[in-house]
Amino acid sequence: MIGQEAEEYPVKKYGLVAQASGIDADAWMTPRFAAMLVGVNPTRLNRWAAVGLLSYQQRRPGAHRRYLREELLVVSGLGVDGDPPTIYALRRHVRRSGRRGGGGEVGR
């Protein structure tokens, strides 16, 4: 593709929640089980990863992303009154931890 660098696979990117929580583990979960753990659908996890809030690894182009288990345990605890967490809760967690990831709005 013109003007774009090709990513080398496997891709592994650490999100702001993991950075803010000091997580550097290497246990990854499939989208289905990750979504069940957090209480949201896999599409929402994908969106959070796309904006840099969640960590993911992808083994080859077009493959499903896998999500960092220890980070998901933190995220699952960010819900309020038994409801699943929201993007606002993830952003708040990152801000309160003092790591905003290079300036700009978190998770925009």
With a cut of 90, say whether residue 103 has pLDDT above it. no
State pTM to two decimals: 0.82
Q: Are 78 and 93 in contact (CB under 8 A)?
A: yes
| Domain 11-96 sits in CATH 3.40.50.20 | no
pLDDT in tens, 13-59: 999 999 999 998 889 999 999 999 999 999 999 999 999 999 999 99
Q: Indicate the length of the chain as a whole number.
A: 108
- In one-letter notation, the amino acid at residue 32 is R
> Domain segments of the chain: what residues?
11-96
